[in-house]
A and B are shown apart, each in its own frame.
Chain A
Amino acid sequence: MKKKRILLVLSSVVALMLALSCNSCKPDKPTWKHNDNTLRVRQPVAITTLNPLLYRSKYESAAFELIYQYPMGFDYEKLVLVPQLVKADPVVLDITEGEYKGGQSFTYEIHSEAVWDDGKPVTGRDFEFSLKAAFNPKMGLARFLPYLAAVRDLEVDDANPKLFTVFTNNKYMLNLAGISNFVVLPEHIYDPQGLMKKFSLNELTDPAKAAKIADDPALQQFFDFYNTPKIARETVSGSGPYKLVEWVDDQRVVLAKKQNWWGEKLAGHYRLLQAYPDTIVFIPIKDVVAATAAVKDESVDVAPELDAKLFTELRQVDFVKNIYTFETPPTYKIYMTTIQNRNPKLSDKRVRRALAHTVDMDLVIKDLYDGLAERIVGPFLPDQKYYLKTMKPIAINLDEARKLLAEAGWKDSNGNGIVDKTIDGAVVEMKLEYIFPAGSAFAENFALLMKSNAQKIGVEIEANGVDSKVLGQRFKNGEYDLGGRAAATIPLPDDPKQLWHSDSAQPGGSNYAWFSNPTADALINKIQITTDEAARNKLYEEFQQLIYDEQPVIFQLTPFEKMAVHQRFEPVVSRLGASLQHFKLKK
């Protein structure tokens, strides 16, 4: 009797579950979970700050760029800088006399309608303050300074404080971009005590003058005030279309569109002053499976950077196809196997080329990346105007690899299967360590593939996954042989200095390959100050050919974005990612 009762209960439960499940799978017409004009955006890491000077990642800049503005920002579709906070492109003049002879002046005029949240006008003084804050030596802002290194002074028009001119002391090719794409902060909010007013911009930008004021306590006081969680998370106030309304740590950051925002009046004429979603919510979901589940559950409307395999599977699921579109534009990322060029085993370019011949990159893209990537051969992306098309992809060719190793003096003299060579009087075997970020399936598979093929040419590779922070430090200090890494570029003419100049090859530096070549340095120096595009493109081509010949790293691929976007929005997605403020709710 008891058993019958148990069976009855169990069968009722099963029946109920089936009934529920059938109820949830009537797919005639997709009914969306949300129909509001709120854009829920998955981010792989949680936002830790909205401070536009002290931020750490592109995920944070994606959020604060909706709150703060630049004189000019990037048009996501045309991939060029267009006016945002200013009326038009700046008037650029060469300076032919005076203190900044040989430099340039850039004159901008801020929209007369532009105001801060408290109604105070946005002026050139605010931009001057922002530059002063960046040049405050206590801030340690190495990130901006290469693009602003030539800035020397700024003048604000007395009659029209919205009109201002920035002066530089040279013609660095990215002067315009560096100045135009620098954030404008409200001085009265971020320096209420007027600590930075004590200094002129020139006192902070001129190295000789800066050295004299370096110990002024006001600089430290400003840094102490500005570098607080309050500024990073609470006092978040810009001239942009959105304001911070809620921040729940590690759960969500919510931005809401401002009522009667000044830019709305000009939105018809200025693309970057258009803003459509009422609310934008940033939700951190790190785990790739959880991110895919969130898409299936419609918990997010925009899910970038999905795992390649899971993304491909997701695109096959019928009900998901009815709800999401799948965006796969190319990106500005470059994947490479970086090589420690100072390692005596790897200092010969023939050895580096031999290693490049051990990988079938097309197969890698097909099998390890599900075809969602494009092969690259040089340091610049293939769609750059100056990309050197004559560079041939380095094909897998183990015979050629063996030949190059032999030419470089590497032979298996003791018959143990590993090539060796006498260096500085000692016999050295070609045993290398390949480090890659632990947890990256692609990087690991790539390393294992290379290991397997390298073994066939007598090179022993030990592949080790390393915590990403430790990996970064080992790269920076040159404590590695081979390593998988990614680099990012921006939609501007490339400045190769950070990755390829000998100045950047030092402990803690960004030239991880420790590549040092006088011709490369000279080309980079010329590229930096050549403003004529055609002439600069010639230099870029020479530089690419040199890198191609020297093979300081093995270029792998540039991955495509793998983003799911809810169909109720018209997405604006490009190489730069998703322009969230332009996502329009479909009628």
Chain B
Amino acid sequence: MFLYLLKRILMFLPTLLLISLLSFGLSRLSPGDPVAQYLGEDVFGKISTPQDLANAEQGYAQAAQTLKLDKPAFYCSITAQAYPDTLHKIAISHRRKTLEKLVAQYGNWPQVQAWYNGIRSIDLQLLGLKDSALVAAAIPLKSPIRELYTLYLDGAISIRLNEMGAAFGKNPALAAALGTDFSKLKKNYETMRAEAAPGKLRLPAFHWYGLDNQYHTWLMGFIRGDFGTSLSHRMAVADKVKPALFWTLVVNLAAIALAFLLAVPIGVWSAVKQGKTFDKAATIGLFMLYSMPAFWVATLLLVFFTNPQYSMNFFPAGFPNDIPTSAPWWRQIGLAIPNLLLPIVCVAFPSIAYIARQARGGMANVLGQDFIRTARAKGLPERTVIWRHGFRNALFPLITLLASVVPSAIAGSVAVEWIFNIPGMGWLTLQAIGQQDWPIVFTVLMLGAVLTVVGMLVSDVLYRWVDPRVKL
């Protein structure tokens, strides 16, 4: 068995690695700008002078460095030859994305770079104008020049350049001050188009960056238990996950226990009483339960049972806000129990229906077999026949279920935690998604993946325990 487990673990490693690659890849594709998210304010919102622009750019680069986003994404990259291997060093995401698109269009990085530097140069000069008449005359230039930071399509760029050209045409003083740079910018644009090198886009290029890359840093950190820094909270992800995991485990393990405790007898009894009133009533009841969305039931329970409005003030609302953190964990759970009863019921009830149906199906299958008839013929009491002989053999689907509920127990029940204000993993994950706090989201994802693998291993062992004939 040891060898089997070892083999399984070794087989799981590539799976986990693949999941880590996928989750990391998703983080790169997800919308939004993590640096802007980390900074949390309009860095480019209050710019009046060239120094302001330089400060904003510096602040942005600083944050990117803190988040290690200034490093290459992966160990290597296979791109077209046209792309420089240092594009990742451009911290400001909207500028980097525009440059990528321009390179994809023209394939000539030096000309693209010259074009882009020309835009920045004029922007800085506009900000640095001192003469009030020139400042006023230059206002029509500001929007088009700044739009050029994000534009890559020919038509859109030409419209902005024409707009700027018209402004220069109207004001000779402005043309005298900035006309040369504008002409240079236009020339850069023409050169970029004329000297397009589409061939370079067809030739592959391989860049090796070594171990100092974002993925390696993230993966090594994960293995060491350092899940990175939360973008919103500017604190270690592990410090956020630990308390959330505690409350999620309390709610979900209690819910799983409740679900199995109620569902297994109902399912077994339904199988035993197949076709009888109890079976029919249980089937209808369970289907009704299964069809009710948890968030709806949670809202109803919260609205009706947590205040005196409907004269059913049986439970406190929400999560208790006075549990001493210094208290031992069992004391904390004890204090929170009145508040957690409704959430536990909400998490448990859809599972009750599902598990009961599985138990009924497995048991009905087993009860029709010869060894059950033999047991009954031997005169064994019905209870022994059902539970010792029948149930043990009907356990397989339930073990499979148990293995799959472990990761979901860790991920938390998002809707229920949200509605009952339980600071668990579901709450944390939903909040992190809303805030685009990807280090937290991917930690939860990876933990889920690891626990799925653990759950599968546990179920393998349980199969063997239940039926020694199973060979591992």
Contacts and interface: CB of A to CB of B under 8 A. Distances in A.
Contacts of A207: 49, 51
Contact of B309 (A232, A317, A473): A317
B234 A299 contact: no
A504 B325 contact: no
Contacts of A319: 308-309
Nearest to B326: A246
A391 interface: no
Interface stretch (B139-147, B189-197, B279-287, B363-371): B139-147
B142 to A, nearest CB: 5
Given A142-B56, A249-B243, A293 B317 contact: yes
B88 to A, nearest CB: 19
B436 interface: yes
A101 interface: no
Interface string B409-444: 000000000111101000110010011100000000
Given A286-B418, A477-B94, A502-B142, A507 B316 contact: no
Contacts of B418: 286-287, 290
Interface stretch (A85-93, A264-272, A375-383, A462-470): A462-470
Which one of B42, B137, B303, B435 has the highest number of Cβ atoms from chain A below 10 Å of its Cβ?
B42
Given A296-B307, A516-B139, A246 B325 contact: yes
Nearest to A520: B139
B68 to A, nearest CB: 14
A249 B239 CA distance: 9
A223 B55 CA distance: 15
Given A296-B309, A505-B143, A506-B44, A290 B317 contact: yes
Given A48-B232, A470-B31, A502-B143, A140 B60 contact: yes
Interface residues of B, number: 83
B45 A478 contact: no
A309 interface: no
A25 interface: yes
Contact of B423 (A25, A232, A249): A249
A504 B46 contact: yes
Contact of A509 (B47, B63, B240): B47
A508 B307 contact: no
B244 A289 contact: no
B62 A140 contact: yes
Contacts of A317: 309
Interface stretch (B32-40, B267-275, B398-406): B32-40
Contact of B59 (A137, A293, A516): A137
A297 interface: yes
A473 B127 contact: no
A1 interface: no
Which one of B39, B143, B435 has the highest number of Cβ atoms from chain A below 10 Å of its Cβ?
B143
Interface residues of A toward B: which range? 35 or more
Contacts of B235: 229, 232-233
Contacts of B234: 48-49, 54, 227, 229, 232
Contact of B45 (A21, A46, A142, A514): A142
Interface in A278-324: 281, 283-287, 289-290, 293-294, 296-297, 299, 317, 319-320
B142 A294 contact: no
A476 interface: yes
A497 B142 CA distance: 15
Contact of A211 (B51, B419, B423): B51
A138 B146 CA distance: 25
Given A21-B312, A56-B40, A508-B45, A424 B159 contact: yes
A420 B40 CA distance: 40
A33 B148 CA distance: 61
A233 B139 CA distance: 45
B43 interface: yes
Contact of A473 (B36, B48, B428): B36
A367 interface: no
Given A207-B49, A297-B318, A214 B58 contact: yes
B236 interface: yes
A477 B43 CA distance: 12
B263 interface: no
B316 A297 contact: yes
Contacts of A146: 46
Contacts of A49: 233-234
Interface in B1-49: 31-33, 36-37, 39-49
A285 B421 contact: yes
Given A293-B303, A477-B150, A251 B44 contact: no
A384 B429 CA distance: 42
B314 interface: yes
A293 B46 contact: no
B278 to A, nearest CB: 12
B389 to A, nearest CB: 26
Contact of B319 (A24, A251, A473, A477): A251
Interface in A184-231: 207, 210-211, 214, 223, 227, 229
Contacts of A248: 243, 323, 325
A81 to B, nearest CB: 21
B427 A250 contact: yes
Contact of B307 (A246, A283, A293): A293
Contacts of A137: 55, 58-59
A470 B317 contact: no
Interface in A452-511: 467-470, 473, 476-479, 497-498, 502-510
A467 B434 contact: yes
B318 A143 contact: no
B299 interface: yes
A145 B159 CA distance: 35
Which one of B123, B309, B321 has the highest number of Cβ atoms from chain A below 10 Å of its Cβ?
B321
B176 interface: no
Contact of A285 (B42, B44, B314, B318): B318
Which one of B45, B52, B235, B299 has the highest number of Cβ atoms from chain A below 10 Å of its Cβ?
B45
Contacts of A250: 240, 243-244, 423, 427-428, 431
Contacts of B42: 142, 476, 498, 508-510
B239 A299 contact: no
Which one of A319, A507, A516 has the highest number of Cβ atoms from chain B below 10 Å of its Cβ?
A507
B311 A510 contact: no
A246 B324 CA distance: 9
Contact of B146 (A232, A252, A505): A505
A478 B146 CA distance: 11
Nearest to A516: B143
Given A138-B62, A229-B235, A250-B244, 14 more contacts: A137-B58, A140-B59, A248-B325, A286-B431, A289-B419, A299-B318, A342-B143, A469-B435, A470-B31, A476-B44, A498-B45, A507-B147, A508-B36, A517-B139
24 contacts: A22-B311, A49-B233, A140-B56, A140-B60, A142-B45, A229-B234, A248-B323, A251-B423, A286-B421, A293-B302, A293-B306, A296-B308, A297-B307, A469-B434, A469-B436, A503-B47, A503-B48, A503-B142, A505-B143, A507-B44, A508-B42, A509-B42, A521-B135, A522-B136
Interface of A: 17, 20-22, 24-25, 27, 40, 46, 48-49, 54, 56, 137-140, 142-143, 145-146, 149, 207, 210-211, 214, 223, 227, 229, 232-233, 246, 248-252, 281, 283-287, 289-290, 293-294, 296-297, 299, 317, 319-320, 342, 424, 467-470, 473, 476-479, 497-498, 502-510, 514, 516-518, 521-522
Rank and list the top 10 A-B pairs by shortest CB-CB distance, nearest first: A140-B59, A510-B45, A508-B44, A296-B307, A297-B317, A506-B146, A250-B423, A229-B235, A207-B51, A293-B317
